[in-house]
Structure 1
């Protein structure tokens, strides 16, 4: 009972200061993120942590909706791999998607998104799965042969060493040449919490 290892948020100001100094967010924005986190973390299981069902509910309004991109995003958030997202994990991962975050950081995290099997490489089938997921996100339905052409062309360009897999070095070079790959790695609304989450703004402040 007395062992609460998952305090849901850093309410003391010095904790907010630490998070603000480690991320592109201001202390005020950390407060807005805390309110968002509280709302998400109590939507299904009221334990002060975000579970995958709660992230699905927030994005799809459905706790059972399956989505490869969401599953990979959840894995990014869940830094300690315990199946739940704490507040510091929440802020830390959202900071990757901030417009002011260096491109190199976004490229590194995008690699983790595409490395579906956690092998340290992106293989052809993983690239294909992510292409299909991204097309689905964009509501694009393309014939199988067109999808295969996209995958084959992309993979052959990225696999500079020609060894049938894309390592981090190859991925970095490919992403530098194809910035559209990082489109999903930036959320413009993170520039202004008060606009993004107006329902959480306290009147008079």
Structure 2
């Protein structure tokens, strides 16, 4: 049983109904309600206002995660490109990380995540940043020449048409052969929010 969002006066700016968001994401309506509680907590953690700003998005930060990922994720969650995350954008983007989200959606989101310069392609430097972040996340420290060798090998394998950049189709083929590349595109606790965050039951 989910929580009940009952007070219109407490709704955040551009609030969207759970049933609407549930129809376009892997979440149920009750899980969307649980996410609303999380969203309100995040958005009011430092500055009240019902919107999440970049420095408030702690959901994807931990001691091992490079800030590169948290910053890029914020940029992709900010669907209106206005420097804040609204509730609808929060739920729709978070849906990509649901275990039941289509792998094609995860691959496409990861492509945008690693396209650091927003060129529509993943360049070699983008791939190097990704490799460094993944190594850092795993607490692995490798010599610079070994990192460069790994990046060169991965780039050659991914860039099948040898034009010096990885396009979305090449990326898709590469990830399907190397699924660990999108391991961080799945957050297991999203499978059952009400079990992961039992405190949601008592919020209302």
3-state SS of paired residue (2:57): helix
Deviations 1:136-176 (A, max 9, x none): 22222111111111111110000000011000111011111
Match of 1:28 in 2: 30
Unaligned runs of 5+ in 1: 1-5
| Cα shift readout 1:110-133 (whole Å, capped 9, x = no counterpart) | 100110000000000111011112
Tell me which residue corresponds to 1:173.
173
Deviations 1:153-200 (A, max 9, x none): 110000000011000111011111111111011111100011221222
Distance 2:157 2:141 in 1: 23
RMSD, aligned α-carbons: 2.0
The equivalent residue for 2:127 is: 127
Provide the residue aligned with 1:51 in structure 2: 53
Aligned mate of 1:9, from 12, 15, 29? 15
Shift of the 57–102 alpha-carbon distance from structure 1 to 2, 3 Å rule, reads: closer
Asked whether the 8 Å contact 2:25–2:95 carries over to 1, the reply is yes
Per the alignment, residue 40 of structure 1 pairs with 42
> Could you list the per-position Cα deviations for residues 30-76 of structure 1 after superposition, in whole angstroms to 9, with x for gaps in the alignment?
01000000000001121110001111487359xxx971011111111
Q: Aligned in 2, Cα 1:125/1:51: closer, same or farther, shift over 3 Å?
A: same
SS in 1 for 2:61: helix
The 4+ residue runs of structure 1 with deviation greater than 3 A are: 56-61
TM-score (norm 1): 0.88
* SS of residue matched to 1:106: helix
TM-score scaled by structure 2? 0.88
CA 86–177 in structure 1, closer or farther in 2 if over 3 Å, else same: same
The aligned counterpart of 2:21 is 19
Unaligned runs of 5+ in 2: 1-11
Contact 1:40 1:58 in 2 (8 A): no
Distance in 2, Cα, partners of 1:19 & 1:163: 40
Number of residue equivalences = 192
Q: What is the SS of the residue equivalent to 2:52?
A: coil
Given that 1:69 and 1:130 are in contact with CA atoms closer than 8 Å, whether structure 2 keeps it comes out as no
For the residues of structure 2 that align with 1:58 and 1:159, how far apart are their CA atoms? 29
Task: Select the structure with the greater relative contact order (CA < 8 A; seq sep ≥ 6).
Answer: 2
